[in-house]
Amino acid sequence: MKSNFHTHTTFCDGRDTPAAMVEAAVAKGFGVLGFSSHSDMLADPAAYRDSIRELAERNKGRLDIRLGIEAELAKPWSRVPGEYEYVIGSCHFITAPDGGFFAFDHTPQILADGIRDHFGGDAAAFVKGYFARVRSTLGMDYEIVGHPDLVRKFNKKHPFFDESAPWYREELEMTADAIAASGKIVEVNTGAISRGWLDEAYPSPEFRAMLRERGVRFMLSSDAHFADALDCAFDRFAGEEFVTL
């Protein structure tokens, strides 16, 4: 049974409505579909919750629909009991030592400008800052670690650091240790494949191996922003073990 808990719609930066996502999920043979709008993009959180709950009620027996949120952990956020069934914790922004704050996964140019203007052009310092931020959020109240090596997003087409460098492996090892200690689930996220930036999922195969060695559990997700991407590249992971909620 296919499931996806990382789904974006017109309530945030997705292209399709929740109803269109539901129909696509049914057509693709999903058993479970979880919605996870960005916490910092929701203009009307109550309307979002009401809409997903109504869809869940209307589709009972047809599709198991879950109400979640993708919490932006680089901005002020706290969980309110009962509002959401699950939370994906993610960092799309970083605060530099000089106080600069930018969305590093928006465009390659914004990333390059941010590293130049706020990290003195030191890409390694930026990457280390990102992983430090990920590790610092692991004590927060959420179940699923979202795309933990998102800093790789543009690195294939616009290389800015060496993923084989010893310092980078050290960051992965430290982060794998911290995630394992937290007991949180890590998503295997195919979103960068569907959007054409990478040809493999987050976390990278090397990072996944480190996490698996430490007993970390995984959940397969597509981070879908449009209906056709709901099961993007899921076939590549047919032999791997995943959990669901």
Tell me the angle at which helices 205-213 and 166-182 cross, rounded to the nearest 10 degrees.
Answer: 40
pLDDT recorded at residue 166: 98
Distance between CA atoms of 23 and 183, rounded to whole angstroms? 34
The whole-model pTM stands at 0.97
What's the token pair of residue 220?
């397969």
Nearest to 221 by CA among 129, 27, 90, 84: 90
Distance between CA atoms of 221 and 232, rounded to whole angstroms? 9
Distance between CA atoms of 120 and 128, rounded to whole angstroms? 14
CA–CA distances in Å: residue 158 to residues 48, 112, 122, 131, 221 = 36, 9, 15, 20, 25
pLDDT recorded at residue 22: 98
Under DSSP, is residue 66 helix (H, G, I), strand (E, B) or coil?
Answer: strand
Q: How many CB atoms lie within 10 A of CB 183?
A: 11
CATH 3.90.660.10 at 2-237, yes or no: no
pLDDT per residue rounded down to tens, the chain (245 residues): 899 999 999 999 999 999 999 999 999 999 999 999 999 999 999 999 999 999 999 999 999 999 999 999 999 999 999 999 999 999 999 999 999 999 999 999 999 999 999 999 999 999 999 999 999 999 999 999 999 999 999 999 999 999 999 999 999 999 999 999 999 999 999 999 999 999 999 999 999 999 999 999 999 999 999 999 999 999 999 989 999 99
CA–CA distances in Å: residue 14 to residues 33, 73, 143, 171, 230 = 15, 20, 22, 31, 12
Is 217 exposed, middle or buried (CB count within 10 Å of its CB: 0-12, 13-18, 19+)? Answer: middle
Distance between CA atoms of 91 and 70, rounded to whole angstroms? 10
Show the beta-strand stretches assigned E in the chain.
2-4, 30-38, 64-72, 86-90, 93-95, 101-103, 144-145, 185-189, 218-221
Distance between CA atoms of 232 and 88, rounded to whole angstroms? 19
